[in-house]
Amino acid sequence: MTIVELLERNSQLYGEEICLVEINPEVKETRRVTWKEYELMEPSPSAYYRREISWQVFNEKANRFANLLLSRGIKKGDKVGILLMNCLEWLPIYFGILKTGALAVPLNFRYSAEEIEYCVELAEVDILVFGPEFIGRVEEIADDISKGRLLFFVGDNCPSFAEDYKAITADCSSKSPNITLWEEDDAAIYFSSGTTGFPKAILHNHESLIHSCRVEQNHHGQGREDIFLCIPPLYHTGAKMHWFGSLLSGSKAVLLKGTKPEYILDAVSKEKCTIVWLLVPWAQDMLEALDSGRLKLSDYELSQWRLMHIGAQPVPPSLIRHWKTYFPNHQYDTNYGLSESIGPGCVHLGVENIHKVGAIGVPGFGWRVKIVDEKHQLVARGEVGELAVKGPGVMTCYYRDPKATAEVLDHGWLYTGDMAMEDEDGFIFLVDRKKDVIISGGENIYPVQIEDFIRLYPSVHDVAVIGLPDKRLGEITAAIIEVKPEMECTEEEIQSFCKELPRYKRPKKIIFAEIPRNPTGKIEKPKLREKYCGGRLVEAQITN
């Protein structure tokens, strides 16, 4: 079975039921809008507070896009990129791609034009679908990436260098293209990166996707009456794979644009959401709003909300203890995973194990886990080693990168680069990270890219970027800068220079000091962490 078959099943069984709702709280118009009404509307759909579609319309939209792609020569094994903010169009486009046998290639909406071009080239994307938020970035590279590629635009006022998605799909058949798919067929490419700069392309097959559905439902027990509130971006494996539990159960989900505490509580209340996946900053903001009295739980209908789970970054145990003072009846779970393991769930705490908050948990449904030394031999319980996982959700490979693949895959085992230990009860705790990735507010930040940029500044001799603990974001980026002899440099100069970087990559703290390097020339970041944050990354468990 594939997830495409799940969508078609839901369309047949629950066709008229609403499956997806999009909410934009920044717009105060409150009337409900169906997809059919939306298609007759002017101006932009972003001018409306709420949109919704049924399972039948979802499937028909996916079929129309699939048939469009086939008419443009897309075939099994081709790739179609998605560069969209969360919206009702996102998932039908994703499934339309899969229905052709092509690979869906979601792109991070934070990518710069240079990163978009790099990923499109690496994944050998044939068609790029993008939204209005990305016109400037795509236009910047359009002359280069449009050679041999098609560009489809989702929104109003289509730019001249692209085709209008809404117009070109309107006359396409809504019937299934009936392309035969097998679980071993390639399905999607997601992007990740360690400390080597630009992202790696992670190839997954249909078995990975369907397994993530089963993992999510097994862990969180989604039923037909559950309603999932999805806030994180759908390009992220975490958001989509958690939504896959709704796909498997045939239940409704709500896509919320906006992360303010009042938006989240209002959506849970009005849409009767039962399951919410949060990132640490959002949970922290909610608690601070409740502590201050700015928000009151009594103003919302929250009795149906049964589960809050967190992933994508370190989760301080103190946060969960604080959360339970306001929501004592909530189930809680945390999920560990990587894009290489099709997102969250290869290790999870389990709603029945809240007494073990601080651990990432036990092997997830259908997963095996081990902790090994540098020779990949098992370490004794209580000793620290590298965490490795094995299961149907492990990636096929890093696309077009056999060397990087060989470094992390061995006989089906994925070596995560995270250091862990197992306690006497069999629960796994993460201790440190081998990978030099900073996770800030749920986003992976790669120090090498920032270091390479800052080194361009004339008075900089050397630079190292590390993560410092932060109560709200988990970590913030700190740049330790060694100034060239007999030259001067100020924090204001560096901050001004770094304005050319995307906002989320700009260092939040500048420290002027010497950079220690070992005899082979590598920066000794453990020494820097020891000096500036006591050797600890955060009081946390690492999730992704």
Dump pLDDT digits (tens) for 360-380. 999 999 999 999 999 999 999
- Indicate left, alpha or beta for 279 from its phi (over 0: left) and psi (-120 to 50: alpha): beta
| pLDDT of 433 | 67
pLDDT band at 542 (very low <50, low <70, confident <90, very high): very low
* 53-62, 178-187, 258-267, 464-473: range with lowest mean pLDDT: 464-473
Domains and CATH numbers, the chain: 3-258 (3.40.50.12780), 330-433 (2.30.38.10), 438-533 (3.30.300.30)
| pLDDT of 28 | 55
Pick the closest to residue 109 from 135, 85, 136 (CA basis): 85
CA separation for the pair 235, 106 (Å, rounded) = 5
Give the containing element (helix H, strand E) for 482.
Answer: strand 474-483
* 271-280, 345-354, 452-461: range with lowest mean pLDDT: 452-461
Label the pairing between strands 163-164 and 150-153: parallel
Burial 254-284 (b: 16+ CB within 10 A, else e): bbbbebebbbbbbbbbebbbbbbbbbbbbbb
Pick the closest to residue 234 from 333, 129, 120 (CA basis): 129
| pLDDT of 543 | 34
> Which SS3 state, helix, strand or coil, does residue 20 take?
strand
| pLDDT of 538 | 37
Label the pairing between strands 428-433 and 413-422: antiparallel
Q: The pTM is what?
A: 0.83
pLDDT band at 438 (very low <50, low <70, confident <90, very high): confident
Pick the closest to residue 91 from 19, 177, 191, 11 (CA basis): 19
| pLDDT of 443 | 80
Give the containing element (helix H, strand E) for 493.
Answer: helix 491-497
- Find out whether 509 and 477 touch, Cβ atoms under 8 Å: yes
Overall average pLDDT of the 289-302 stretch: 96
Could you tell me what percent of the chain has a pLDDT over 70? Answer: 91
Cα distances from 476 to residues 317, 363, 437, 445, 493, in angstroms, run: 19, 30, 11, 10, 20
Mean predicted lDDT score pLDDT of the chain: 90
CA separation for the pair 455, 153 (Å, rounded) = 37
Overall average pLDDT of the 245-267 stretch: 96
| pLDDT of 315 | 75
- φ, ψ of residue 311 in degrees (nearest 5): -155, -170
Q: Please say if the pLDDT value at position 198 is more than 90.
A: no
Q: Please say if the pLDDT value at position 454 is more than 60.
A: yes
| Residue 493 burial (C-beta neighbours within 10 Å; 0-12, 13-18, 19+) | middle
Q: Which segments within 27-110 are labelled E, that is strand?
A: 32-34, 50-54, 79-83, 103-106
- Find out whether 191 and 108 touch, Cβ atoms under 8 Å: yes
Overall average pLDDT of the 515-520 stretch: 69
* 168-172, 224-228, 256-260, 449-453: range with lowest mean pLDDT: 449-453
pLDDT band at 45 (very low <50, low <70, confident <90, very high): very low
